[in-house]
Structure 1
Amino acid sequence: MGAEVLADKVYCYPFQKVVTGYLNKYPTPLEKNVTAVTTVEEQTDPATGIVYRRRIATCNNIIPSFLRKSREWIFKWSILKVTNIYLEEESWLDMKARVMNLKCRCLTWAQYASMNEESVYRESKHNSNWTEFSQKGTITITGAGYLNCILERFAQTFLKQGARKSIAIMEKILEEKYGSPVS
């Protein structure tokens, strides 16, 4: 079945500032669940100037404790008991076109869950001092039988809250670093 989350936001800050803010957003005291972000690969295409990055985010396990307790009847192995969840993010930053595309996927539990996000930051067509953000996230759970749907709904709720919180963190970081938004 699967669940989907959509998010859109216009940041009233120039593209370069928003991208810099995004790339330095985590870890932050504003989000205690993201404990580290490590760049594992970075390359610049000499022909296009596009910067490719692959980063791994380490996050606290946010699965409710009642699901994490020894419930081997839910899953063959007690896979929900992990302390950390790992996410892989790939990004392509094109400063000439003023666009950054991102793809993120969950590495933890990949054999049971597919979590993917695709995001775009781009200079606004309406105002070159603004940056448009759009995101689409999907999650599909398999291997949990009748709990697949319940776990997907939990994940959808968490992803919606996470998207709202991430946008609020970006706004706070941009305002603290650059002052009030540009009109």
Structure 2
Amino acid sequence: MYRRWIKHNSPTMVITIEIRKMYRYPFERVVDMHLNKYPTPLEEHVRDVETVEEKKDSSGIIYRRRIATCNNVLPNILRRMRLMNVDNVHMEEESWLDGKRKTMNIQSRCLTWSQYATLQEVSIFRESTANPNWTEFWQTGSISVTGVGRLNRLFELFAQSFFSRGLNKSVHLMEVILEQRYGHPCS
């Protein structure tokens, strides 16, 4: 897995992470796992994922908009701000699945706390050009904190740790579920 951190120096703190991962499973299986991996006992912080919109256009591309309900994982010191002390955090995911071209593009964002921070991810799954039985995965995520005053530095430290842990856990979770369902990866 390839990973790169970028910290932007600007009046507002912005952290970006880019990753690449090759799943040694066919595209259809990886996409199915992504769309159906939650909720699972392997990830206790994602409690529910609801598809709120799904449609297919004339070219066969399937659009989905889903809302995930997650536990608030902010540490107590950051939850001292009344607006940060919520039980549920809501994430929105929009995806465009092109079965003919074997690509799925995803845009995700945090709906909770949008007045204080922007959390966004852009992901792509596509059939590998190196091996049609494998799936390439790219993701770019960014967070910018704009309005928490003296707590900006704490949010920055938490964001770096959260992104790193979350990314590792998400990739590992996909690998575990794929192996449980389909056996060892394709060569």
TM-score surpassing 0.5?
yes
Distance (Å, rounded) in 1 between the aligned partners of 2:16 and 2:160: 7
Mapped pair 1:127 → 2:131: yes
What pairs with 1:23-102 in structure 2 (closer than 5 Å)? 23-46=35-58, 48-69=59-80, 71=81, 78-102=82-106
Aligned equivalent of 1:177, options 166, 177, 181: 181
Distance (Å, rounded) in 2 between the aligned partners of 1:153 and 1:40: 33
State the Cα distance separating 1:105 from its structure 2 match.
0.3
Moved over 4 A (4+): none
Contact between 1:117 and 1:138, CA under 8 Å: does it hold in 2? Answer: yes
Deviations 1:55-104 (A, max 9, x none): 000000000012213x4xxxxxx111100100000000001110000000
Higher RCO (Cα < 8 Å, 6 or more apart): 1
Deviations 1:135-172 (A, max 9, x none): 00000011112322330231122012101100000000
Residue equivalent to 1:7: 19
Distance (Å, rounded) in 2 between the aligned partners of 1:133 and 1:157: 22
Distance (Å, rounded) in 1 between the aligned partners of 2:74 and 2:67: 20
Q: Which amino acid aligns with 1:137?
A: G
Residue equivalent to 2:144: 140
State the Cα distance separating 1:30 from its structure 2 match.
0.3
Contact between 1:139 and 1:156, CA under 8 Å: does it hold in 2? Answer: no
What residue ranges of structure 2 are gaps of 5+ in the alignment?
A: 1-12
User: Which secondary structure state, in structure 2, belongs to the residue aligned with residue 41 of structure 1?
Assistant: strand
What residue ranges of structure 1 are gaps of 5+ in the alignment?
A: 72-77
TM-score, normalization by structure 1:
0.93
Contact between 2:109 and 2:118, CA under 8 Å: does it hold in 1? Answer: yes
Distance (Å, rounded) in 2 between the aligned partners of 1:2 and 1:123: 31
Mapped pair 1:21 → 2:33: yes
Q: How many corresponding residue pairs? A: 175
Q: Which amino acid aligns with 1:11?
A: Y
TM-score, normalization by structure 2:
0.91
Contact between 1:4 and 1:156, CA under 8 Å: does it hold in 2? Answer: no
**Identity across aligned pairs (percent)?**
54
